[in-house]
Structure 1
Amino acid sequence: MAVDELARLGVAALAGEYHSVVARAAAARADALGLPFLCSSAVLDALTEQPTDWVARLAPAQSHGWQIFADFLLGAGHSRIAVAAQPSVYWASGTRILRDYLAPRGGTVVELGTSSLTPTAVCDELVEHGATALLLLVGHPEPAVSIVKAVRRDERLAEVMMGAPAGQPEFAEWATLLGGDGAAIPFLRYLPERPGPLGARVETALRERLAEAPSFVAFEGYDTIAVLAEVLRSHGVDRARTAEAWPRVAVEGTRGQIQFSRTPGISMWQWAWTPVQVVDRDPADPARLRVLHAG
């Protein structure tokens, strides 16, 4: 795989990933090879099966962010939650986190498997179970877009709130495909309420380069580069020295001071925690994001 090839090429460290499931495989291989890996965005709590000194992570653990999302749901009056979920270790982990957190607080989670249910059937199940909120634990654009359209067009579900804790509504394609239907669907993002001086400068530069507002993922990317640059500058390119440096990192990032520590239940060096927000697209202007809750 790519990690093995990069290791053979002599890279000093790895950074970034495409998806939590991909990052899990990359982290396991990096740990086995003794190759430092700085994870930018993947949130799975169990990113590695065993404790490792080779992996560090900037993104908050899924349990941390999704519990904040669950608090938002309860505060908004939703205690009977349905999840439309695809088979995946990531979605299964999210469902378990929500169920475990909501149950002792009077909430229930009903799982609707999208492998066997059409979007119309999902609507029927929502009515049958009396759910007041539907969480989209599915891929983008499909089946997420089709489910959103079906729910929006079902008069029986006019009062049902949809949410997408994994952040699908942040994609520009989401707004293009759904327009107003994609608004008022809360999701998680990892930004402070107000950016500091560095965050503001980076946001301005990225906005000019991208010709649009950068997503929180862009800030994760910048912070990843900033951390690796500091570690390599201070400790050289020896892999073992890089891994030993994780607990000594103190870097000003776009979203706060970045430092790694050992966190209960987390098997790698973890930044605990980047700011977490629940946001949605404003129905009055779907290009604008509103902050609904912070944790």
Structure 2
Amino acid sequence: MEMDRNTFISVFVLLGIFDHSPTHTFLFALVLGIFMVTFMGNSTMVLLIYLDTQLHTPMYFLLSQLSLMDLMLICTTVPKMAFNYLSGRNTISLASCGTQIFFYVSLMGAECFLLAAMAYDRYVAICHPLRYPVLMSQKVCGLMAASSWVLGSLDGIIEAAVALSFPYCGSREIPHFLCDVPALLTLACTDTLTFERMIFICCIIMLLFPVAIIIASYARVILAVIRMGSGEGRRKAFATCSSHLMVVGMYYGAAMFIYMRPTSNRSPMQDKIVSVFYTILTPMLNPLIYSLRNREVSRAFMKNTVLGD
């Protein structure tokens, strides 16, 4: 038994979130349906913005990056979960686990910074409309998007590299449907307190810093809207920002619940349920929120549908 506890583990078992009861089978089918809707919705958003020249603006370019991130995020988690459930083989190698951690953390971090960039874009559009072409030029917009990808990838590389450096022994079972760092660390047979503190600091930077930018941007936007004399102008300004605020509220609320809580207050089931929300449901809702509340996207979709026919 002592030798078993100290045996190095290179293959893990993802416990998942569903069993094979009728209720869970239905929920699994529902997740697959959500995955298809998310895949089609985000792919359509990326293609529409790429094909329609009237959508070649900073706001829609950033939106296309958000859709691309959501598309990659759900493809990082759901296919593996579906394969494990359908095949009954819930194993994942240490290398595959590290790869999933890298993409998962990178995309989550990149989306945090991108949402802050989108808030700044709305601030400039409403508070400094005459300077918008300069402050949100093609070069600036591209730099903001690239910075989001780079900063997110840097966080992903650090967390994946450090997580893979720990020795894992004893139990092979990860109480999650994906290789999430906090869940994986529970299996480490060495002290991980320093790394956990580092993750907490990274969360402050990746979550609270962008949130501060978003709050500051929208505080200025609200003040500018209040000063508007035209009721129609106020309506258009709030309509422009409301979609983004809905996405920000859903995304950051769930992410902070997962990563900003003390380890002692963590529950594996709570983590899995909330992870389903922001890795599966939120990527589906994003294109629906933006397309259903945006006339330009609806126009582009109808135009390209007619041309396709």
Q: TM-score, with normalisation over the residues of structure 2?
A: 0.24
Structure with the higher fraction of residues in strand conformation: 1
> Which structure has the bigger radius of gyration?
2
Q: TM-score, with normalisation over the residues of structure 1?
A: 0.24
